[in-house]
Amino acid sequence: MRLLPVVVTGLLTVAFAYYVYIPLPDAIQEPWKLMMMDAGFRATMHLASLKAWLGFDHYITSIRQSMDGFDGMVKRSESGAGVMPGVKVSDITFAGIPVRVYEPPAGGEGHLRRGLMFLHGGGWALGSAKKGSYDAINRMLSDELNTVVVAVEYRLYPEVHFPVPYLDCLAAAKHFLSPEVLARYAVDPERVAVAGDSAGGNLAAAVSQEISTDDTMTVKFSVQALIYPVLQALDFNTPSYLQNQYIPILYRTLMVRFWLQYLGADLNLESQFMANNHSSLHHSKITPELRARLDWTVLLSPKHKKSYKPVIVERGSEGVLKAVPGLLDVRAAPLLAGPEVLAKCPRAYILTCENDVLRDDGLMYARRLQDAGVTVTSDHYEDGFHGCLSFIAWPFEFDVGKRAVRGYFDWLKNNL
């Protein structure tokens, strides 16, 4: 009988290790830290799905509650890290959209300041610029670069679907760029940026395109900073989607699910999207010209194409494009924009990570912007993974995250 506790403990240890362990590329530093973080996230997802199956909250609501609890724990542990006492923080609305405004301690008396609109990530379903590392980074940026930062709290799934988050961000952007508002915050109209990470990078790119082509706007964004942005939903078999499909924290299946949710599509279409059946050749609306805009065999370098082959389906799912029109809407998929639109876009900073399913979205967009005559700085992290910019504090602090934040800040300092 005395052996039973030992056996049970051993079995539990093995089970825990089995759940936590995932093979990771050698380039990723501190792999066990990433594994533990990912295991926690997966456990949260599984528990949320179970609660939803039992008839409790929507699984996204449960995940948000768990993230709020984790955010509170991190705040208590940081002991003031990331807090800039001189930065004035105001929670107000721009054109009816909730925003958080960060004003630097160096006032605008007689001196105009930089301005930046930030759009947070989270698969159009999770996250808030008011919490965690987003809040800390925006405070630091405001203080260090003497910048008025406007972080937009756009509405999220499941409460809304596309195009509502995009329209929220666009409305807030137009309000911020109005001469009256810029003057109120002493922001130089020639030094205003839009930035975002992941789904926020998607929104930042889409809003930037719309503002750039809107002749009624007297002030436009000077630069755009896109941090591992998601930019298209027609090809889930790019080299990076296949290479990194099991790499935390954004799995290929999860990104497909985020897209289905955002576009208001049937979640049972996941397997069809994974196989590229939704973008088969028989869909006449996906013209050769449109396909060329995300043809990774042309847009990627040999280093990133490797030995992967394009997954092109002759005949796939019937009626998908009619049921999910957002797939071809450039407001949802900025990579599909024509060269005449890209040519009007501002200078760009695009951060990509080697170990990220979205790597190729960012690399292809950088290439297409450059081909359209836009100046682009590509900042690629060989040891980076999706979301790394957010992991700069205990308990999940990564050196690559700190380097990514520094690269982002330095580029803005030199280009905005």
Query: Which residues participate in catalysis according to the annotation?
Result: 198, 356, 386
Give the C-alpha separation, 212 to 218, whole Å: 10
Under 8 Å between Cβ of 356 and 327 = no
Helices (H), 266-353: 270-274, 288-292, 296-299, 302-305, 320-323, 339-342
Expressed in angstroms, the distance from the first to the final Cα of the chain is 70
Under 8 Å between Cβ of 274 and 253 = yes
DSSP state of 358: T
Helices (H), 300-416: 302-305, 320-323, 339-342, 359-371, 399-415
Under 8 Å between Cβ of 66 and 48 = yes
Q: How far is C-alpha 216 from the chain's CA centre?
A: 28
Cα Rg for the chain, rounded, in angstroms?
22
- Number of residues written out for the chain: 416
CB atoms under 10 Å from CB of 20, counted, come to: 16
Nearest to 153 by CA among 88, 203, 226: 203
Under 8 Å between Cβ of 342 and 374 = yes
> Would you call the peptide bond into 249 cis, given omega within 30 degrees of 0 as the criterion?
yes
Under 8 Å between Cβ of 328 and 290 = yes
Helices (H), 94-178: 132-144, 164-176
> Would you call the peptide bond into 158 cis, given omega within 30 degrees of 0 as the criterion?
yes
